[in-house]
Structure 1
């Protein structure tokens, strides 16, 4: 359980097993040695990056590569536009006033360079023109994923197998095989739950991993519960799957059907977009039955491939 969390129960009933879970309160590499390969997608013929030129393109303040506008002081020392305001327009090397002098020569030299993707060691072997490299890296399929655990901020990144082991070993997340699930979320006093995240559950389905989230929070002035699924992979893969969630009681039910969001989208982004099953607290307590003072909410769900749905429909 995350530090500072409060203990609630989540009962997993899939595969005839019963498991207790905790709930946590929500709180709110660069290797640029040029590769001796042909230019990859979007690449073009250019000058490779010798160490001297590469060092000239490193900002002396943040040590990141500089992109236009690149500024220089009267003595010729350069720095990036982001750091220009951070140093209060004073050259960090000679202390002269920077002004607004552009280093057009260095910007021009950068145009002719090609550099490998920073994720070369993770499997991306393409090289790119200097000014295309940054955009590629933001979308590179080898870009490490952030840990999808939502109980507290976790800075761990890595590929999917690394994160699966991290979730099991460090967050003690339960892993379950199968494409259907049946959960009961229990809380003796739901009025205490204002911003809370039930412990993440991961399902192995179709050889992929899916993260089931369930939490309570304020939507405007209304207290709500929300359940949604995230896919451990990129968005283009996530779109190959669909899922449904169902909650009910007292001869009523709500059904949600959608496409799982990639873990490239943060947990908070998905939650704030309301892309999932949302249950008003009063309705959740109505579904719970009894005196409506205790939360006993049953959520069932299923994951499928679109191709499997077509087969089921005889297509």
Structure 2
């Protein structure tokens, strides 16, 4: 155990002095240990009762609270004192040293990891909640706010989004910008198929795998457009993982993208476009 020095007043001047600590006290201090659960209890937010993660805020009397709860409060929930503008660095340091429960523990996940590894786990946690991509919806229509577990997605979409029954992706250049979303089942796996038409700009198309990020690379999608004259436009790519921001994916790629003036040459009949294939990589 290293030596501890404290500053104490000596007459009218200050100085550094080493306090006298008996050997039994030193031995006792070095043998004190706390379980992970005991340390987690010290990091429990008094408002939401979740284990606090950085940033951790505190009041004048050193009561800690998580930053999200502090934003909803005017004073400390424990003593009513004002909050300090700075963060509790000591509590944050402790938070990085203990193993935190996964945020999906109430849904059955029993994983405990340190924060640097926990974030990566939570992104792919099998018990996590998935967003409904129909939240993107079409322009001018309400977005779906539903979130649920993987096994609930298919029933939710079939129950609440009738447009998912459409067999084709209909793209008509009729002066209306639109976004299309569809849930597809292939190989007993689920995929979001998203397309967006921007007037006088481009047509974008992407497929996002619903599951772990690493497994997304086990599938590819192919977009094929054939013109009346026999011309062919083909795009192939690994499926994108669902954690990617769909708006950014369509806006910046990598995904299928073609200018609308080129698109006109590949429309036929009712404007069914394009032919999509999803297959194992």
TM-score by length of 1: 0.62
- 1:76 and 2:62 equivalent? yes
Distance 1:66 1:122, change over 3 A: closer
State the match for 1:140 in structure 2: 125
Quote how far apart the aligned CAs of 1:258 are.
Answer: 0.7
CA distance in structure 1 between the partners assigned to 2:46 and 2:115 by the alignment: 15
When Rg is computed on C-alpha atoms for both structures, the one with the higher figure is: 2
CA distance in structure 2 between the partners assigned to 1:256 and 1:124 by the alignment: 39
CA distance in structure 1 between the partners assigned to 2:117 and 2:129 by the alignment: 19
Greater RCO, 1 or 2 (C-alpha within 8 Å, sep 6+): 1
State the match for 1:211 in structure 2: 192
State the match for 1:25 in structure 2: none
1:299 counterpart (270, 274, 277): 274
1:254 counterpart (206, 209, 233): 233
2:44 counterpart (57, 69, 79): 57
Task: Give the 5 Å matches for 1:181-260.
Answer: 183=168, 185-187=170-172, 190-194=173-177, 196-198=178-180, 200-217=181-198, 222-249=200-227, 250-260=229-239
Gaps of 5+ in 1: 1-44, 177-181, 307-315
Structure 1 contact 148–266 (Cα < 8 Å) conserved: no
CA distance in structure 1 between the partners assigned to 2:225 and 2:256 by the alignment: 9
State the match for 2:152 in structure 1: 162
1:279 counterpart (251, 258, 264): 258
State the match for 1:18 in structure 2: none
Quote how far apart the aligned CAs of 1:163 are.
Answer: 0.5
Structure 2 contact 124–213 (Cα < 8 Å) conserved: no
State the match for 2:88 in structure 1: 102
Quote how far apart the aligned CAs of 1:255 are.
Answer: 0.7
Distance 1:137 1:303, change over 3 A: closer
Q: Deviations over 1:35-65 (max 9, x none)?
A: xxxxxxxxxx961435x963753164x6653
Quote how far apart the aligned CAs of 1:133 are.
Answer: 4.0
TM-score by length of 2: 0.69
State the match for 2:7 in structure 1: none
Distance 1:59 1:256, change over 3 A: farther
CA distance in structure 2 between the partners assigned to 1:100 and 1:210 by the alignment: 44
Q: Residue 162 of structure 2: SS of its match in structure 1?
A: coil
What is the aligned-residue RMSD (CA, Å)?
A: 3.6
Q: Deviations over 1:238-292 (max 9, x none)?
A: 1111121111313322111111112222321321233332221112223337xxx
Normalized per residue, which structure has more helix?
Answer: 2
Quote how far apart the aligned CAs of 1:166 are.
Answer: 0.5
